[in-house]
Amino acid sequence: MEPLMGKTWSAEGNWGDGSKFKQEITFSYGLDSTLVIANSKGYTNKKQTKYGHRNHGIRKYDAASDSYKFWEFDVFGGVTQGSMIFEEKNMFYQYVYGKDTITDAWEYVDPNTYNFKVGRYENGMWKQVYLETQFQSKAH
């Protein structure tokens, strides 16, 4: 997660159903660097007319399972939780949404750019992509 720290990451695009995607995420350390805190801005209503603080997330290494876990709490009262997988400079978030296992992929391009995909990723292949865009960073 180190390449993401100390920066605000911004992306815009369209979901597969045509609805807008716009998000800003700032990552910081918490509890003596044992947690990574993600503060996200995005659309805060279903009509996508209000933009503001949308999610508050936590990423943590779980020694018992020797894996990384995450939790995302949203303004609508929901929580998404799952696991994180790191492959070189790429990060994959996997979680259950409805009846599907969904993957959010942060694919490293350069220190200030990650390609971002959301979809169903199985056995190293994208079965369906719901969103494809790019996060760009700016330092604080």
Has this prediction a pTM greater than 0.75? yes
Q: How far apart are CA 47 and CA 38, in angstroms?
A: 24
The string of DSSP letters for 32-100 reads: TTTEEEEEEEEE-STTS--EEEEEEEEEEEETTTTEEEEEEEETTS-EEEEEEEEETTEEEEEEEETTE
CATH assignment of 2-139? 2.40.128.20
Residue spans per domain, the chain: 2-139
Query: pLDDT truncated to tens, each residue of the chain (140 aa)?
Result: 888 998 999 999 999 999 999 999 999 999 988 899 999 999 999 889 999 999 999 999 998 999 999 999 999 999 999 999 999 999 999 999 999 999 999 999 999 999 999 999 998 899 999 999 999 998 65
- Do 22 and 42 form a contact (C-beta atoms < 8 A)? yes
- Do 57 and 73 form a contact (C-beta atoms < 8 A)? yes
